Every structure is written in structure tokens, then in C-alpha cells.
Structure 1
Amino acid sequence: MARNNSFWQRHKYKLNGLVLVLPFWFLYQSLTPVFPPVWPAQQVGQFEIAPMPLNLEPPYAHHDEYVKDFMLMFNKGDISAIRQGYLNIGPAALPLAQLQQGEEGILHGSRHGQHVHAIAPQQFSSTDKVWLTLQTWQGETLTTSWTLPPELLTP
């Protein structure tokens, strides 16, 4: 019986080795993420808040709306004093009545950081800002904004 000494037969073990090594590469990548720098913190009411985008990519479609992921770090203030909080990107802050209609833009997380899928346009313009709207349990509405850095603006 003759042996079939084809290219595949001689090198198929290398494919097996690659299949064994790749999960470790992806594990390393998932355990060592790289984030953009944190934006300057701003004081809004009793809170000092610093936002950080999770990446520098444009907004993506999520449930028929475009969103951009952010992490908000509360340096001062008690998060339990917030009844509801929303983040949107645009020329002006959206009113609370409009923000309450959908499920996007809501702050959620822990006292260590709040994650949010900020409501965004499909493409950013130079007039857009990141708007944070908070409502406390006493009914006080607080609003602040950050200008978009040049790295997020698409050419």
C-alpha cells in the first residue's frame, strides 16, 4: 500500500497547532483592552462626572437607533441620589419627556462607573456635543455638555 505524501498530509498538523494557539491570542486581547483617554471632569450639581468613550469608532445601529458607547465616572456625589440619567449626542440636549420614551441613552451600572449607549446621529458634525441630563429624586434636572474631540469627528 502506497503512502499519499501530499502537501496536505505533510502540513495538516500545523493547522491543528494554529487552532490550539488562537484561543490564547483572543483571550489575551480580551483581557487587555485599550480605551481612549478620559475627558475632563465637569461639575453638575453635587456630581463631578468624567466621560470616556469606549472606542473612537463612529456610532453603530442598535435597535433602529444609532448609539455610541460611553463610560461615565462619578468622582464626587452619591449616585443613589439620581432618579434617572440620559446621554445623547447632538446640537442640543433632548428633553426628558422624549428621552423617557425609549430604552437607549439610559445610564446603568454601579457606583464605580455608569455605562450608557448614548443616542447619536449616524455621523458627527462639528456642532454636536455630548449632553448629559440627570434628574434627582427631588425633581431637579441637571444638564451639562462636553464638546466632541477631533478624533471622533469623521472627515
Structure 2
Amino acid sequence: MARSNTFWQRHKFKLNGLVLLLPIWFLYESLTPEFPPAWPAQQLGQFEIAPMPLDLKPPYAHHDQYVKDFLLMFNHGDIASIRQGYLNIGPAPLPLAELQQHEEGILHGSRHGQHVHAIAPPQLAVTDKVWLTLQTWQGEVLTTSWPLPAQLLAAE
């Protein structure tokens, strides 16, 4: 039986090469992420904090709640003096008693940056702000907010 010299038979090895090269492309993409710029830093007690959204996409559903991912950079202040910290998006900050009931919205990470899944509404509004609530080991509750930038509202 004679082999047919079809286009597929002559070039199918190139598909194998492509399959071997694709992981290199995905590795490069994962090692060189691009983030939006950080927002202006604000002073909150002894801390100077600058938030940065990890993307400009709208909030997404995570464990039956909508969240938006942020990185909080603490430029000044000792993170070890924070007992608990929460981030939420809305017209007003959520009470600390309500924030403590769930695992979403809590800051976690290291002294280099605190990651947080900020509690958010399904659709962001112009009246919404990003609210940070910190409680120190002395029981002092500190709250500050940042307005949502137009780029984040336009991503909807």
C-alpha cells in the first residue's frame, strides 16, 4: 500500500513544535504581569497606605459574594500593630462587626504588601468608594476611603 503524500502528512510535525512552544509563551505572560498604576497614598494613623487594583475588570463572584482584588502597599507604619484590616467597596464602610462575620475582605500578606479580596457590589457606581477599616491591637478603629477612578467605572 502506497503512502499518500498529503499536505497533512508533510506538515503535521509543525503542530507538535507549536504545542512544545506554547508553554514558553504562557510562562513569559505569567512572569511579566501588567498592573494598573497605584492610587495616591493616604495617611491613616501611623500608616501611609497606597492601594492598587490588580486589574480594571468589574467585580467577580467568589464564594457567593462579589469581590475585587487589590494590593495594599504600606509605605510607613508597622504592620505588626494591626490586629485586623478589611477592605470593601460601597457608598459607606461596612461595620467592623459585620466584616468579622465573613472571610472576604480581610487583608493578608506580608510587610511588602497586603492582598485583599475587597467586598464589592455586582455593579460599581459613581457614588461608591473603596473603604479601608483597620483595627489596632489597642482597639483603635481607623477608617479611610479612596474614590473609584473613571477607568474602573468604565470597565463595566
Q: TM-score, normalised by structure 1?
A: 0.98
Counterpart of 2:84 in 1: which secondary structure? strand
Counterpart CA distance in 2 for 1:18 and 1:73 is: 40
Deviations 1:95-122 (A, max 9, x none): 0000000000000000000000000001
TM-align CA RMSD: 0.8
* Aligned residue number for residue 141 of structure 1: 141
* Aligned residue number for residue 70 of structure 2: 70
* Matching of residue 58 in structure 1 with residue 68 in structure 2: no
* Structure 1 runs, 4 residues or longer, greater than 4 Å off: none
Counting matched residue pairs gives 155
Unaligned runs of 5+ in 2: none
Amino acid at match of 2:107: L
Deviations 1:42-95 (A, max 9, x none): 000100000000000000100000000000000000000000000000000000
Unaligned runs of 5+ in 1: none
Q: TM-score, normalised by structure 2?
A: 0.97
Amino acid at match of 1:33: P
* Aligned residue number for residue 12 of structure 1: 12
Q: CA deviation at 1:7?
A: 2.5
* Matching of residue 107 in structure 1 with residue 97 in structure 2: no
Q: 5 Å matches for 1:74-93? A: 74-93=74-93
Counterpart CA distance in 2 for 1:12 and 1:99 is: 57
Q: Percent identity?
A: 81
